[in-house]
Amino acid sequence: MIPKLRFPGFSGEWGERKLGEVGVCEDNKRIPLNESERKQRKGAYPYWGSTKIMDYVDDYIFDGEYVLLSEDGGYFYDYKDKPIAFYVNGKFWANNHIHVLKINKENSAKFIYYTLAHKNILAYIIGGTRTKLNQKDMLKIKIHLPPTLAEQQKIAEFLSSIDEKIELNEKKLSKLKEYKRGLLQKMFV
């Protein structure tokens, strides 16, 4: 497979790999905390649930660069609009509703995140009412990778710069909306 759009200077076939070949699942380290436990342990470290940071606690289990992938309760059917994977770099705590992947040194964790964030993985999902991606099936998910780490990093850097611009524009939009609300309150009180 060779993508239609590619950065200059890179060549060669992209390959297909399973997630279990590009990283190690560290789910065995996860420890769930209920709401009252989290309230007692308020702190600075993100506490990750299936689809977002749910809280901040006083300790961490993981430290480093990771890809988190929803286990249950994820947006598997809404994957086009809502992410099912998340990139984390630093200290955090994870509960038992999100898979924790430590990507090996031959691959870029951020590239793997971008590959998974909006990927259709419905073929790997089980369950009816509450969908679930079990660990065994997660490790079988197939992804396409460029032949070199350098190309993975280049793609991830490019996509990250776009994300930064989006975030900046979202902050500007939020401030403009707040400004408008203030004007409306002063005008129509």
Would you state the pLDDT for residue 4? 82
Own/partner pairs, 5-9, CB within 8 angstroms, 24+ separation: 7/151, 7/154, 7/155, 7/158
Q: Which residues sit opposite 46 in a β-bridge? A: 56
Would you state the pLDDT for residue 129? 74
Indicate yes or no: pTM above 0.75.
yes
Would you state the pLDDT for residue 80? 95
Q: Which two tokens stand for residue 151?
A: 């190309």
DSSP category for residue 126: B
Would you state the pLDDT for residue 83? 96
DSSP category for residue 99: E
DSSP category for residue 33: -
Would you state the pLDDT for residue 130? 79
Which distant-in-sequence residues (6+ apart) come within 8 Å of 92 by Cβ?
45, 46, 47, 48, 60, 61, 62, 63, 66
The answer to whether residues 88 and 66 touch, using CB atoms and an 8 Å cutoff, is yes
Would you state the pLDDT for residue 17? 97
Would you state the pLDDT for residue 75? 92
Which residues of the chain, if any, have pLDDT below 50? none
Would you state the pLDDT for residue 188? 87
